[in-house]
Amino acid sequence: MIAPETAILLSMGVPLIGFVAIWLLDRAPNLREAATLATGAVLVALTISIFLAVGAGARPSISVITVIGGLKIDFSVEPLGAVFALLASVLWVVNSFYSIGYMRGHNEKHQTRFYMSFAVAIAAAMGVAYAGNLFTLFIFYEVLTLSTFPLVTHKGDDAARRGGRIYLGVLMGTSIGLFLPAIVWVYTIAGTTDFALGGILPAPLANAGLLPALLLGLFAFGIAKAALMPVHLWLPNAMVAPTPVSAFLHAVAVVKAGVFSILKISIYIFGDRFLDASGASEPLVWVACFSILLASMIAMRKDNLKARLAYSTVSQLSYVTLGAMLANAMGVMGGALQIVTHAFGKMTLFMCAGAIYVAAHKTLVSELKGLGPKMPITFIAFFIGAMSIVGLPPLGGTWPKFLLMLGAADAGERAVIGVLIFSSLLNVAYLLSIPAQAFFLAPQEGEAPQPIDWRNLKEAPFLCVAPPVLTAIGAILLFIFANPLFNYLAPIAGAR
């Protein structure tokens, strides 16, 4: 039995070993992809062992090195980090199966580089999940940005290069210009960057006027992976990447690393008592609400399917930020569950979009009319994923919105409840309309730029269809078995 502390280091080391194996097996595609899947399987086993240890009450930690002035590269696992790491590792395996079907179906070039970049990115995601302090979190946050840049620019055309420049410019600019100064400020005030339940900031700072709100704002906008408006533009521009990359960005690691970081900092650096006393989170409650509604309205106007899903992600991520800023137990629990349920729902939608492209070569919502009967499995999976994002039972996405409404009620923010309800109605309009028109509307002649060979049209290859079916089933199971996950995460709200 591997000790949890050893498993923490292996969770980052195993993907890097996989990176080398993938590189060495460049000329043997089957073995290369087997190495990817084997790496994923080992990583899942490691994250499960850590997850179980934390669930049993352990808080494994390990210090790697002291860099300077007491700043250490430390790892320490608590329930939120254990859940995020397990979620990312499991969905990485699902995404790897999907990637094999998609990349082979399109005869994509540079597939070895593609899988190598994924391996480094998942290692960075593990570092974010298990970071024991802000300094360590920042290091792996930056590695995650740099390792996913080749994925965003994979196609190598002008659009990919432009999207990559925006991706790197926004994420690196905000992290260096805002996130890093916030970390330095915390270190100056508290003398440490270590995470501690209930927060580490001195109580007198709560009475320092606008300073607490300014510090919290530096974190909220400096962690641009959370895609809070107006630092969200990198996300829709990253949609030039292949669909497996989009699924990875939206569900597995990148945006989830962003909102995970926001939630963790609100719990372990600020704490609810500090946020309540200072009122620092109040402005960001309304920034999150603004992002939720505006991004949904933009999504409704997007005909490109991936662009619509991208703006949907901007909206749905802001639910997590909202939960953190409500600064109470139900808010933080709603935000934590949203990380998990959104991952399954949105990954389902993106993989279905890729399956549609592989089978019918369609990318626009207006071109999908009549495809449902020809691709029933894909569009049923899409419908389930969309239902979860909307927050309708019996799908997992029901519970985060319910808890966020309770959190808003506890905080006395009745208008926020209205925002959540209106947002759900907007979700219905721009998501459920897609499978509805695919099943119930006939295609109009001349509507699609490229004619469909209706006689031979069928579902995409198995490896493009099975993964979204699995994640759709996961979205259903998250509704049924939400209580064990809620109880597992409950300690993070213990000091709230």
| N-term to C-term CA, the chain | 35
The predicted-structure confidence for 369-426, as pLDDT tens digits, reads as follows 999 999 999 999 999 999 999 999 999 999 999 999 999 999 999 999 999 999 999 9
Which residue is it, tokens 């808890």?
403
Q: How many domains does the chain divide into? A: 2
The predicted-structure confidence for 416-455, as pLDDT tens digits, reads as follows 999 999 999 999 999 999 999 999 998 765 555 566 666 6
150 domain-assigned: yes
Q: Are 116 and 37 part of one and the same domain?
A: yes
Q: What's the pTM?
A: 0.94
Q: Are 405 and 294 part of one and the same domain?
A: yes
The three-state DSSP-derived secondary structure of 123-148 is HHHHHHHHECEHHHHHHHHHHHHHHH
Q: Which amino acid is at 450?
A: Q
Residue pair 74/63 in contact (Cβ under 8 Å)? The answer is: yes
Q: Are 251 and 398 part of one and the same domain?
A: no
Predicted confidence band of residue 244 (pLDDT cuts 50, 70, 90): confident
Listing DSSP states for 305-352 in one string gives HHHHHHHHHHHHHHHHHHHHHH-SHHHHHHHHHHHHHHHHHHHHHHHH
Distance CA 190, CA 288 (A): 27
Q: Which residue has the higher pLDDT, 252 or 205?
A: 205
80 domain-assigned: yes
330 domain-assigned: yes
Helix residue spans in 64-133 (DSSP H) = 79-105, 111-130
Residue pair 386/347 in contact (Cβ under 8 Å)? The answer is: no
**φ, ψ for residue 75, nearest 5 deg:** -130, 135
Q: Are 101 and 247 part of one and the same domain?
A: yes
Least confident of 50-59, 247-256, 456-465: 247-256
CA atoms within 13 A on the CB side of 20: 4
Distance CA 10, CA 20 (A): 15
Q: Are 258 and 151 part of one and the same domain?
A: yes
Q: Are 358 and 242 part of one and the same domain?
A: no
Partner residues linked to 71 by β-bridges: 68
Which residue is it, tokens 């949890």?
4
Residue pair 309/350 in contact (Cβ under 8 Å)? The answer is: yes
Would you mind telling me the total number of residues written for the chain in this entry? Answer: 496
Q: Are 74 and 10 part of one and the same domain?
A: yes
Distance CA 332, CA 404 (A): 8
211 domain-assigned: no
Distance CA 128, CA 12 (A): 10
DSSP classification of residue 449: S
Distance CA 135, CA 137 (A): 5
Whole-number pLDDT of residue 361: 87
Whole-number pLDDT of residue 264: 97
- At 114, list the tokens: 């593609």
**pLDDT beyond 50 at 496:** no
What percentage of the chain reaches a pLDDT higher than 90?
Answer: 81
Residue pair 274/315 in contact (Cβ under 8 Å)? The answer is: no
213 domain-assigned: no
Indicate the average pLDDT of the chain: 93
28 domain-assigned: yes
**pLDDT beyond 80 at 108:** no
Q: Quote the domain boundaries for residue 54.
A: 1-178+232-262
**φ, ψ for residue 58, nearest 5 deg:** -75, 155
Predicted confidence band of residue 206 (pLDDT cuts 50, 70, 90): confident
Which residue is it, tokens 């137990």?
329
Distance CA 339, CA 91 (A): 13
Residue pair 95/252 in contact (Cβ under 8 Å)? The answer is: yes
Q: Are 431 and 399 part of one and the same domain?
A: yes
Q: Are 257 and 358 part of one and the same domain?
A: no
224 domain-assigned: no
- At 144, list the tokens: 């995650």
Whole-number pLDDT of residue 495: 42
Distance CA 40, CA 93 (A): 5
Burial (CB count within 10 angstroms: exposed 0-12, middle 13-18, buried 19+), residue 461: middle
DSSP classification of residue 74: E
Distance CA 296, CA 299 (A): 5
Q: Are 170 and 299 part of one and the same domain?
A: no
216 domain-assigned: no
Q: Are 125 and 3 part of one and the same domain?
A: yes
Helix residue spans in 361-413 (DSSP H) = 376-390, 398-410
The predicted-structure confidence for 18-36, as pLDDT tens digits, reads as follows 999 999 999 999 999 999 9
The predicted-structure confidence for 84-106, as pLDDT tens digits, reads as follows 999 999 999 999 999 898 887 66
Listing DSSP states for 147-169 in one string gives HHHHHHTTT-SHHHHHHHHHHHH
> Which strand (E) or helix (H) includes residue 68?
strand 61-68
Residue pair 110/171 in contact (Cβ under 8 Å)? The answer is: no
**pLDDT beyond 60 at 462:** yes
Distance CA 114, CA 116 (A): 6
Distance CA 119, CA 351 (A): 19
Residue pair 46/36 in contact (Cβ under 8 Å)? The answer is: no
How many of the other CB atoms lie within 10 Å of CB of 444? 10
Helix axes 329-360, 398-410, angle to 10 degrees: 150
Distance CA 492, CA 267 (A): 7
The predicted-structure confidence for 142-178, as pLDDT tens digits, reads as follows 999 999 999 999 888 898 899 999 999 999 999 999 9
Q: Are 257 and 287 part of one and the same domain?
A: no
Q: What is the dihedral of CA 61, 64, 68, 70, to 10 degrees?
A: 20
Name the nearest CA neighbour of 419 among 308, 329, 328, 297: 297
Q: Strand runs (DSSP E) across 139-288, as ranges? A: none
